[in-house]
A = this chain, B = another copy of it.
Amino acid sequence: MKINNKPFRSIWVHPEDSKVVQIIDQRYLPHQLIINDLKTVEEAAHAIKEMLVRGAPLIGATAAYGMYFACLEAQSATNVEEYIEIAANQLMETRPTAINLQWALNRQTNAIKSAKNLEDKIAIAFKTANDICDEDVDICKKIGEFGLPLIEKLSKEKNGAPVNILTHCNAGWIATVDWGTATSPIYQAHDKGIAVHVWVDETRPRNQGARLTAWELGEHGIPHSVIVDNVGGHLMQHGMVDMCIVGTDRTTYTGDVANKIGTYLKALAAHDNGVPFYVALPSTTIDWECKDGFTIPIEQRDSKEVTLIQGLHENEIKKVQLTPDKSNAANYAFDVTPARLVTALITEKGICDASEDGILKLFPEKHFDYAQ
């Protein structure tokens, strides 16, 4: 999508040096647009762990380039296979919840193993990382195409009045390579001239909504209002939300959805008020081995993300302390929304019920995978 009228992806190969990959350092958005070079496994792992990049698809893409860097670095290693394996483990350990990370690393590892010599490994790792990015753009575009009619239908029911869509966290284009997942139907509706208005959940503690989703939507010219995470229930009680769309970090093959902490609360409110609650996802975020969402590991992050907050003060980015010195804080990063609260999943293959049956209708080839 666009930043200042210039088309961007969230990760791309340096136009003048194919050994360098560039990313937007999302920690400084929306106040500063800082572009970083990644050249090493270490830098790729750091970018994921410290959340310069975030969002399941972008984490996967970054890890894929990380494996490409591993092949480049292996040129000076005594044991190539071992070096690449250690790199894969290092990248895998950066974030425990995102299933895409594992998926991208497995794909890269298999691709790299298939190459006979190191030169070929480098080439195939580069191609695989690029393919993962291009495929992600295509997948996200398709998610939008499938989601668009849901918004169109609501728009018609409202005689063209703005469709109010609530989203949580950032499942936007900068969480993917382009388009986003939850935002893809919104961008496509807006581009088609359908009036939409987005309620943007702030998404404490890291404020991905207030910082990133709001920024994305603003740059693209989509009307939106930032709200604190407490507000969505009230809006739904009062008919001010027509639909919710969120992303997911991992969805079980039974339809349980792990996503940013607080998603579950919005799903409860949607259910209580008859508001449809959609989850937009590339099928790579479906965990075909996980039956019960409550077995998904939930990352606990540094309590400083709760006690300190970053913002702009006199044109400088500063962190301020919110809590008393004496107080502890706990920081659970994700929660699991049970399938019963999810109206439907929007995937690149179509829309389906959030259930084993629904998912298998879209992905019949998976039928025996998990049963083995």
Residue positions of A touching B, CB distance < 8 A: 30-31, 199-200, 202-205, 207, 210-211, 214-215, 217-219, 224-235, 237, 260-262, 264-266, 268-269, 272, 294, 298, 306-313, 318-324, 326-332, 334-336
Contact = CB atoms under 8 A, between A and B. Distances in A.
Contacts of A262: 228-231, 233
Contact of A311 (B207, B227, B320): B320
Contact of A298 (B227, B234, B322, B336): B234
Nearest to A329: B226
| Chain copies in complex | 2
A233 B271 CA distance: 15
A324 B221 CA distance: 13
Given A229-B204, A233-B264, A318 B318 contact: yes
A310 B320 contact: yes
Given A215-B327, A219-B326, A229-B230, 13 more contacts: A210-B322, A214-B324, A225-B327, A226-B323, A228-B331, A229-B229, A233-B265, A237-B335, A237-B336, A265-B265, A268-B269, A310-B320, A318-B318
B306 A313 contact: no
A227 B329 contact: yes
8 contacts: A30-B324, A211-B323, A231-B330, A233-B262, A265-B268, A308-B311, A313-B313, A313-B321
A320 B322 contact: no
